[in-house]
Amino acid sequence: MTAEPLGARSRTGYDAATLEALTADAERIKARYPDERSGLLPMLHLVQSVEGYVSRDGIVFCAEQLGLTAAEVSAVATFYTQYKRHPNGEYTVGVCTNTLCAVMGGDAIFDRLSQHLDVGHDETTPDGAITLERVECNAACDYAPVVMVNWEFFDNQTPESATELADRLRAGEDVAPTRGAASVCSFKAMSRVLAGFPDGRADEGVGAGDATLAGLRLARAAAAVDEPSGSGPTGAGDASSAGTPSASVVPPSAPARPDQPADEASPAPASADGAAPETGGEQSSAERTEVAPEDDEAARLPDGGKPNPEPEKGGDDD
C-alpha cells in the first residue's frame, strides 16, 4: 500500500519539504503540553519563522495541527502584536514610546526614524530591511530611551544613534546590542527561537547592567550603615528588612529586626562555599541565584510578608 503524501491531508499551500519540516517541529511543540492546543503561541512563531509573517497557510497549518478552526487561530494571531499578518522586514526596529522612554526621547527617536526611513508604524522599508514599530515598555526603563532590534536591547538611544543603527542594518552590517547576545539575528531566526527552538545564545552577554544594579548597591550600602553596632554578621539576618532588595541579593550580614524572634529569621542565601553571592556588578542571567517565589515575595513585602495587622475600626462607622 502506498503511503499517502503528507501534503494530501493539508489544505496549506506549503511545498512538501516545508510541510514535512514544519510538521516535525509542530510535533515537538505539541509534545510539550498536556493539551496540544496550548502550543498555539509557539506554533504561530514557528510558522512565522518560515515566511517572516503568519500567512494564510500558517493559520491553516496551526488549525490543522491543533484541531482548531482557522477563525480561532486568526483570533489569537491578530491579538498579539508580535505576530505579523503581512511580510515583516529582516529587522523589526521597535522604539519604546511608553511613558518613561517617551519623555526621555523615545517619541523624538520614533519621529526621526520615521522621517529618515520614510515609513510609519508597522511599515517596512522598500528594501525589506526594516519594519518600524512603536513598542510598549520593554522592562528596560533604567536605560531609557530604548530601541529594540528583533528584541535585542539598544539602550540609551538618541535620534542620531538610532538613525545610524538603522543605516547599518540596511547596509547589512553586524550590529552589537548593548546587552545580551553579541549580534542580532534575523526576524525569521528570532521567531524560531520564540517557538522554543533555542539557538544557544540565550545567556550570551550581560543581563543586568550597571544602571539596573545601581539601586541594589545603594540598598546594600544603606543596610551596612543601618546595621546595629555589635550585632555583627550572624548568617541569620532578616531578608525582609524594609528597603532590602530581593532575598537573592541580601548579604548574610543583613540585620535582624529587633522584634524578630530568632526562629522566624531566615538565613540569607549564600553560595556553596558560604560566601555572599557576588552582586553589584554586571552579571549574566546564567549567574543569577535561583530564588523561591515565596522567598522573593516575602523580601518585597514590608515586615517580611507578615500580614498587616487589622486596621482599627473607626468609632463612628455605622
- Binding footprint of ligand FES on the chain (CB under 6 A): 96, 98-101, 137-138, 140-141, 144, 146
Cell of 281: 556588578
Cβ of residue 156: shortest distance to ligand FES, in angstroms? Answer: 11
**Minimum CB distance to ligand FES smaller for 184 or for 298:** 184
d(CA 254, CA 242): 11
**Minimum CB distance to ligand FES smaller for 141 or for 276:** 141
**Minimum CB distance to ligand FES smaller for 141 or for 216:** 141
**Minimum CB distance to ligand FES smaller for 18 or for 98:** 98
Cβ of residue 152: shortest distance to ligand FES, in angstroms? Answer: 14
What CA–CA distances, in Å, run from 137 to 61, 144, 202, 271? Answer: 32, 10, 21, 33
**Minimum CB distance to ligand FES smaller for 135 or for 219:** 135
Q: What is the DSSP string of 230-280?
A: TT---S---TT-TT---GGG--TTPPPPTT--GGG--PPP--TTSPPP--S
Q: Is the dihedral of CA 112, 139, 129, 40 positive or negative?
A: negative
**Minimum CB distance to ligand FES smaller for 6 or for 141:** 141
In single-letter form, the type of residue at position 187 comes to F
Cβ of residue 126: shortest distance to ligand FES, in angstroms? Answer: 29
Residues 130 and 117 sit within 8 Å (Cβ to Cβ): yes
Cβ of residue 142: shortest distance to ligand FES, in angstroms? Answer: 8
The closest residue (CB) to ligand FES is 101
b vs e for 153-172, b when ≥16 Cβ sit within 10 Å of the residue's Cβ? Answer: bbbbbebeebbebbeebbee
**Minimum CB distance to ligand FES smaller for 76 or for 141:** 141
What CA–CA distances, in Å, run from 221 to 214, 251, 270, 280? Answer: 11, 11, 18, 11
Rg (C-alpha) for the chain, rounded Å, is 25
Residues 93 and 133 sit within 8 Å (Cβ to Cβ): yes
Cβ of residue 263: shortest distance to ligand FES, in angstroms? Answer: 41
* Angle at which helices 40-51 and 56-66 cross, to 10°: 150
Cβ of residue 20: shortest distance to ligand FES, in angstroms? Answer: 41
Cβ of residue 141: shortest distance to ligand FES, in angstroms? Answer: 3
Cβ of residue 148: shortest distance to ligand FES, in angstroms? Answer: 9
d(CA 58, CA 223): 55
Cβ of residue 28: shortest distance to ligand FES, in angstroms? Answer: 33
**Minimum CB distance to ligand FES smaller for 60 or for 146:** 146
Residues 90 and 129 sit within 8 Å (Cβ to Cβ): yes
Q: The cell 526621526 sits on which residue?
A: 112
* Angle at which helices 16-30 and 56-66 cross, to 10°: 50
